[in-house]
Amino acid sequence: MKRQPASTRSNGAGQRNGRRPVTLIPGDGIGPEVIGAAVRVIEAAGVAVAWDRQAAGAEAMRRVGTPVPDALIRSLKRTRLALKGPLETRVGEGYRSVNVYLRKTFDLYANLRPTQSFQGVPTPFRNVDLVVVRENTEDLYAGIEHQVTPGVVESVKVITAHASRRIARFAFEYAVRNRRKSVTAIHKANIMKLSDGLFLKCARAVARNYPRIRYQEQIVDAACMRLVTDPQRFDVLLLENLYGDIVSDLCAGLVGGLGMVPGANYGDRGAIFETVHGTAPDIAGKNIANPVAAILSAAMLVEFLGYKSRAARIRSAVEATLRTGRSVTPDLGGTATTSAMTDAIIRAMR
């Protein structure tokens, strides 16, 4: 097995009194509720973390006049790790996405979203077990836009060999470490022959170094159709930034929604673990938000810190709670509050 890359393991740097410093970004809307649940579960698992709570997004805008305060950046530079809730980003106006800004600032080039079916979750799909690996730093998310003339706007898609090679290596290394069988590169190279063509050329070159992992390619629209008709045929999905954003949400729909899927952003010098769902302002403060995505993201953080067995305990407790269906939130067909579901998961851990 190849050596695990730095982007998916912690070196324990900066520990204080046996506690690993981690930046805590509760987020906007339901963020403080679900991230609060995740913190409770981490503490119940016996993982020693020194939380450095920081504001971002709309909350920070209200408090200090910027969605990305200097204190947040200083904290992230010091800890190189964060657990983050959803952040508000207005559509078509306002400040740029804080999520995109943080990923680019800290070169968190790999977005990882494991997507798995759980017994007891109401969905017509069964036995889904796939992983989305999304390039995080370029493509149309480079944010290069300008107005050519009134009524005509250009947005530039940027694909580089460097970014394409390293995200492909990340996907194959993940497949090797986790005993996955295949990596499928998803693209639109039949239309974007230069940009997506370069992405494919790099993926093919990297694939040759991993002969035990089956390499496949799929046009993005065909892949979406096959994902909703036969998701079991997929294993690890390798995608550019925009396709990865869209396809990862589609995959979440296979297993019960965005409230069921964890997420992580990895770079060579750190990582941010986050919920992939939105702020859900309509239910914020009502204590009925599904905490599973945040708790599973916390499990990814716990594993990154080196506590693999404790991360497994958290995942098993989530699975057991969902299977019984007795203490689940309304989106999962139950009547439990966020707090009550978190209590049930903690009891299942014990």
Mean pLDDT of the chain: 92
Q: Give me the residues paired with residue 113 across strands.
A: 132
Residue 346 within any structural domain of the chain: yes
Residue 3 within any structural domain of the chain: no
CATH code (residue 265): 3.40.718.10
Angstrom distance (rounded) from CA 135 to CA 262 = 17
Tell me the pLDDT band of 88, cut-offs 50, 70 and 90.
confident
Q: Which one of 196, 245, 266, 331 is the catalytic residue?
A: 245
Domain co-membership, 310 together with 190: no
Domain co-membership, 321 together with 303: yes
Domains of the chain: total: 2
Considering 224, 254, 284, which residue would you say is the last residue of a domain? 254
Residue 2 within any structural domain of the chain: no
Residue 117 within any structural domain of the chain: no
Q: Are 238 and 203 in contact (CB under 8 A)?
A: yes
**Hey, what are 34's tokens?**
């679900």
Domain co-membership, 331 together with 295: yes
Q: Are 98 and 89 in contact (CB under 8 A)?
A: yes
Least confident of 96-100, 198-202, 213-217, 283-287: 96-100
pLDDT above 70 for 340: yes
Domain co-membership, 331 together with 343: yes
Angstrom distance (rounded) from CA 94 to CA 247 = 26
Residue 1 within any structural domain of the chain: no
Domain co-membership, 243 together with 263: no
Tell me which residue has tokens 């898609």: 157
Concerning whether 188 is annotated as a catalytic residue, the answer is yes
Instruction: Give the 3-state secondary structure of residue 171.
Output: helix
Domain co-membership, 198 together with 245: yes
Concerning whether 331 is annotated as a catalytic residue, the answer is no
Concerning whether 268 is annotated as a catalytic residue, the answer is no
Domain range for residue 106?
12-112+257-350
**Hey, what are 79's tokens?**
């800890």
Domain co-membership, 267 together with 347: yes
Concerning whether 129 is annotated as a catalytic residue, the answer is no
pLDDT above 50 for 92: no
The predicted pLDDT at position 4 comes to 39
DSSP-derived letter for residue 222 is: H
Q: Which one of 95, 129, 157, 188 is the catalytic residue?
A: 188
The predicted pLDDT at position 224 comes to 97
What residues contact residue 241 under an 8 Å CB cut-off, 6+ apart?
Answer: 134, 135, 136, 137, 138, 139, 140, 141
Considering 211, 236, 254, which residue would you say is the last residue of a domain? 254
Query: In angstroms, what CA-CA distances link 269 with 7, 97, 208?
Result: 7, 22, 27
Tell me the pLDDT band of 97, cut-offs 50, 70 and 90.
confident
Provide the Cα torsion 288, 335, 293, 310; round to 10°.
Answer: 120
**How big is the chain by its Cα radius of gyration, in Å?**
20
The predicted pLDDT at position 13 comes to 47
What residues contact residue 68 under an 8 Å CB cut-off, 6+ apart?
Answer: 56, 60, 98, 101, 102
pLDDT above 70 for 308: yes
> 147-175 pLDDT, tens per residue?
999 999 999 999 999 999 999 999 999 99
Residue 200 within any structural domain of the chain: yes
Q: Which one of 95, 101, 107, 249 is the catalytic residue?
A: 249
Considering 222, 254, 286, which residue would you say is the last residue of a domain? 254
Residue 180 within any structural domain of the chain: yes
Domain co-membership, 298 together with 219: no
Q: What is the 3-state secondary structure (H, E, C) of 60-129?
A: HHHHHCCCCCHHHHHHHHHHCEEEECCCCCCCCCCCCCHHHHHHHHCCCCEEEEEEECCCCCCCCCCCCE
Q: Which one of 2, 77, 193, 221 is the catalytic residue?
A: 221
> 248-303 pLDDT, tens per residue?
999 999 999 999 999 999 999 999 999 989 999 999 999 999 999 999 999 999 99
Residue 285 within any structural domain of the chain: yes
pLDDT above 70 for 95: no
**Hey, what are 121's tokens?**
């979750």
The predicted pLDDT at position 145 comes to 87
Domain co-membership, 225 together with 341: no
Concerning whether 249 is annotated as a catalytic residue, the answer is yes
The predicted pLDDT at position 350 comes to 86
pLDDT above 50 for 3: no
